[in-house]
Structure 1
Amino acid sequence: MPVKTVKVSIKGRVQGVFYRKWTAENAQELGLKGWVRNRRDGSVEALFSGEPSSVEEMEKRCRRGPPASMVTGLNVSPVDEDPGDGFQLKPTV
């Protein structure tokens, strides 16, 4: 089965609005591996790995975000990084 792995950077009002928790719940629902974390610059960064259609659906969901968020930018880059097991909330960097 083909696997797609991407790193996503999300900008806007994405901290203090449960964006990380929402991202983890959605990624788990879609069966994705990876992680999500806040960055000190106010953005959120995530790694998604799994079936290509599920990764693409997660990208679409990230453009909307949870109800209290306001996404103003989303950058997606393919990567070869190991996603690890399951989906994790990582500390801020």
Structure 2
Amino acid sequence: MKSYTCIVEGKVTGGKFQSWVIDAALRLGLKGWVRNIDDRKAEILVQGEPEAYEALKQGLESEAPVPDLKKVTCTTIEYDKVHDRFEARG
């Protein structure tokens, strides 16, 4: 399935970043997950309509609660699993 991954670099722990991503993804009808890679980086896997993905990507760059946002890098990938919801992962 066509999917998208985003790596968000900045202070992603200790705030409301994951909650913001989950709320935005649910509002946009996206499936997948978000997880912290370390205290300054998070990874997001998104499945859904391209327009909804673009809206999430724009929100990550301009609205997400990351006080010292350094960079958002998103790519399109082929992913063999189809997700039925959006969730936080360990």
- For the aligned pair, the TM-score class normalised by the smaller chain equals 0.7 to 0.9
SS at match of 1:15: coil
TM-score, normalization: structure 1?
A: 0.85
Structure 1 CA distance, aligned partners of 2:27 and 2:46?
12
Tell me the equivalent position of 1:85.
Answer: 84
Q: CA deviation at 1:70?
A: 2.8
Deviations 1:52-92 (A, max 9, x none): 100000000011212x633210111111123411101000x
Q: CA RMSD in A?
A: 1.7
Corresponding residue pairs, total: 88
Distance between the aligned counterparts of 1:12 and 1:44, measured in 2? 8
Q: Where in structure 2 are the equivalents of 1:1-16 lying within 5 Å?
A: 4-16=2-14
> Normalised by the size of structure 2, how large is the TM-score?
0.87
Give structure 1 regions of 4+ aligned residues with deviation exceeding 3 angstroms.
none
**Counterparts in 2 of 1:17 and 1:85: CA distance versus 1, 3 Å:** same
Question: Partner of 1:59 in structure 2?
Answer: 57
For residues 19 and 83 of structure 1, what CA distance do their matches in structure 2 show? 24
Q: Which runs of 5+ in 1 are unaligned?
A: none
Is there any run of 5+ residues in structure 2 with no aligned partner, and where?
none
